[in-house]
Amino acid sequence: MSDSVRTKYIFVTGGVVSALGKGIAASSMAFLMQRRGLRVQCIKLDPYLNVDPGTMNPFQHGEVFVLDDGSETDLDLGHYERFLDQSLTAGNNVTTGQIYHTIISRERKGDYLGATVQVIPHVTEEIKNRIKALTRLDGTTDLIVAEIGGTVGDIESLPFLEAIRQIGLEEGPANVVFVHVTLVPYIPTAGEFKTKPTQHSVKALREIGIQPNVLLCRCSTAISESLRQKIGLFCSVPTRSVVAAPDVTTIYEVPLNFHNQHLDDIIANQFGWDIPSPELSDWEGMVDKIKNPRKRLKIGICGKYVNLKDAYKSIIEAFVHGGVHSHAEVALVWVSSEDIKKGGAERFIHDLDGLLIPGGFGERGVEGKIEAIRYVRENNIPFLGICLGMQCAVIEYARNVCGLKDAHSFEFYRDMKHAVIHLMADQEGVSDLGGTMRLGAYPAVLKEGTKSLEAYGEDEITERHRHRYEVNNAYREMLEEHGLVFSGVSPDDRLVEMVEVPGHPWFVAVQFHPELKSRPTRPHPLFREFVRAAVDYSDRKKNPASSNVGEEEDMTTSA
Ligand code: GLN
């Protein structure tokens, strides 16, 4: 579109219950419009008072998604980045905490001298400014898709709803589409879908002054035309704009479903846009591979939050992306590190095709993780360690290969003799816990002849970080002498970013979070190669004669 095009807005609200997949709905619409040639920005407006989710427990909030610029954001930004194949910045996630922080600092400086500072107009103006700031982010933005967190009816989200109502009024219907994501539950005892929750939710929205233009009806299976008609009639929405959003096998199917129901045309028509149809064949091919895998792998994830899948959202997605590349489905097996500590690693890991230890904080479960790592290292099972996962791998190596029996991390035991993982120098004296870790994108250089370099295919990379502790350089020489390879280090060689164990089919561990940069059409190299190694491992298990683990094993087999 030309630079003179005025920025338009899609506002996405949710009704009835949370967890309907507003983020995926917003990403899917943004994706379809991007594929129709538009420059699109997504923004998530979170009504909580935290400045960012960085200090929240994953049990409360799910994963913290870290951006290149170091901002700690809502996990929906992960969906936006993955669907749009775009790297976002701090301005793409706004919280009530940030809004009030700005307004109260301004008030203290005297910027509002004489005025009573109020939710309307001061808070709503600040919200509107934050949304509109995105129009200037990368030159011109044709479309902003703004998702309001929470559910209509929440006290916290009222200022956001008021702000988008005002934008709707100021910009007019040719420039603003209101999309409401709602639930149409199926009641098995009645054998019927029920529309009443949607009617109530739309009523609540209209009381605030917002008439939705599109309803996305979350339902277990597709709903009939007559039901859509009925919903439309009660909610004053044309039937064709009542779009069914049934449960799907993979989230990447959602935009295809929307497109089949002409949702992108409905949006384009309201905006008066005459734009080409989207090219979706690559996306359809990807969805087809996800739905029809040729192989099935079992990869274990050994972490603390095994009962909360949202805590590992990006890892789960990165495995989907890696799986597409090998045309394999990765079934994730959640292994509790505490169970391993009690019952031993063999019992939980022996039949897996690979093991991943994700990032984490706190000592609980660490000994189980270390035991799990020993098992996969000694039994040639593919392994990927991320952040705390790498730190545990180094501790394991120091203990069981270098013989430092009490090796540990300074994070957990301050008086350990061998703190092979210690506090980073620039973290000393840091007392505030919000936003003070080593956060965001940092470069690393990779070593010749390593699996890491082979995976990336380039010797300079940047990856996203979120940690306070690092490999203690005082132990590097010893670890290296015992065979551990530091396959990636910071350009000044002060920080270890990647380690690997040579001779093992795939034992790579990294201080950063590769999962945050994996995209469906561009799987992250480490996930791609880890899954490939797991496929090889699984094939070898089934057909041991085809073994080609490495030179040593080749020699044994041929001898
Ligand atoms: N707790 C560890 C640290 O701060 C690891 C952090 C993580 O896994 N993201 O260094």
Query: Matching CATH topology for 13-285 and 294-554?
Result: yes
CA angle in degrees (0–180, nearest 5) for 197-199-202 = 105
**Residue 138, pLDDT above cutoff 90:** no
140 pLDDT tier (thresholds 50, 70, 90): confident
* Residue 556: pLDDT over 50: no
Span from the CA of 468 to the centroid of ligand 1 (angstroms): 6
Q: Report the CATH fold assignment for 294-554.
A: Rossmann fold (3.40.50)
**Three-state DSSP state, 60:** helix
Question: For residues 414 and 494, which has the higher predicted lDDT (pLDDT)?
Answer: 494
Of ligand 1's listed atoms, the one at least distance from the Cα of 360 is 8
Per cent of the chain over pLDDT 90 is 81
AA letter at 125: E
**Which atom of ligand 1 is found nearest the CA of 361?**
1
Q: Is 512 in the pocket of ligand 1 (CB under 6 A)?
A: no
What per-residue confidence (pLDDT) applies to 5?
59
State the distance from the centre of ligand 1 to the C-alpha of 361, rounded, in angstroms: 6
Question: pLDDT tens across 175-225, in order?
Answer: 999 999 999 999 999 899 999 999 999 999 999 999 999 999 999 998 999
- pLDDT at position 307, please? 66
Structure tokens at 113: 């001298």
Look at ligand 1, atom 1, and give the residue with the nearest C-alpha: 361
With a cut of 60, say whether residue 547 has pLDDT above it. no
User: Cβ(466) to ligand 1 under 6 A?
Assistant: yes
500-531 pLDDT, tens digit each: 999 999 999 999 999 999 999 999 999 999 99
- Distance CA(23)–CA(20), nearest Å, equals 9
- Residue 243 pLDDT > 70, yes or no? yes
pLDDT of the residue at 287: 97
Both structure tokens of 433: 């816990």
Ligand 1 contacts CB of residue 58 (under 6 A): no
| DSSP code, position 522 | B
Helix (H, G, I), strand (E, B) or coil at 168: helix
Q: Which amino acid is at 451?
A: K
Question: If you take atom 7 of ligand 1, which residue's CA is the nearest one?
Answer: 359
pLDDT at residue 215 in the model: 98
* Averaged pLDDT for residues 429-452: 90
Domain boundaries, the chain: 13-285, 294-554
pLDDT band (50, 70, 90) for residue 555: very low
359 Cβ below 6 A of ligand 1: yes
Per-residue confidence (pLDDT) for residue 421, from 0 to 100: 95
Range of lowest pLDDT (28-32, 301-305, 481-485): 301-305
Q: Which atom of ligand 1 is nearest to the CA of 389?
A: 8
Cα(484)–Cα(167) distance, rounded to whole angstroms? 58
Q: Give the bridge partners for 181, in sequence order.
A: 14, 216
**Residue 41 forms beta bridges with which residues?**
144
Q: Given ligand 1 and candidates 426, 469, 512, 515, which is best to mutate, with the most ligand atoms within 8 Å of its CB?
A: 469
Give 415's pLDDT tier (boundaries 50, 70, 90): confident
Contact between 29 and 111 under an 8 Å Cβ cutoff? The reply is no
Q: pTM to 2 decimals?
A: 0.93
- 557 has pLDDT over 70: no
Q: Is 85 left (phi over 0), alpha (psi -120 to 50) or beta?
A: left
- Give which of 77, 88, 40 is closest to 278, Cα–Cα: 40
Q: How confident is the model over 529-549, as a mean pLDDT?
A: 83
**pLDDT of residue 264 exceeding 70:** yes
Residue 1, pLDDT > 70, answer: no
User: What is the pLDDT at residue 305?
Assistant: 65
| Pocket mutation for ligand 1, best pick of 468, 470, 495, 511 (most atoms within 8 Å of C-beta) | 468
- Residue-level pLDDT at 546: 58
Give the pLDDT confidence score for residue 148 in this predicted structure: 97
Rounded alpha-carbon distances, angstroms, from residue 484 to 44, 174, 215, 501, 510: 42, 61, 56, 5, 13
Average pLDDT over residues 351-375: 93
In the reported structure, the alpha carbon of residue 556 is separated from the centroid of ligand 1 by a whole-number distance in angstroms of 39
pLDDT tops 80 at residue 137: no
The three-state secondary structure class of 295 is: strand
CATH 3.10.450.50 fits 13-285, yes or no: no
Mean pLDDT of 494-498: 96
**Nearest residue by C-alpha to atom 8 in ligand 1:** 359
Which atom of ligand 1 is least distant from the CA of 358?
8
What's the CA-to-centroid distance between 89 and ligand 1, angstroms?
A: 22
For residue 121, cis peptide bond before it (omega within 30 degrees of 0) = yes
Q: Which residues are catalytic?
A: 387, 513, 515
Average per-residue pLDDT for the chain: 92
User: Distance from the CA of 77 to the center of ligand 1, in angstroms?
Assistant: 21
Q: Is the pLDDT of residue 470 over 60?
A: yes
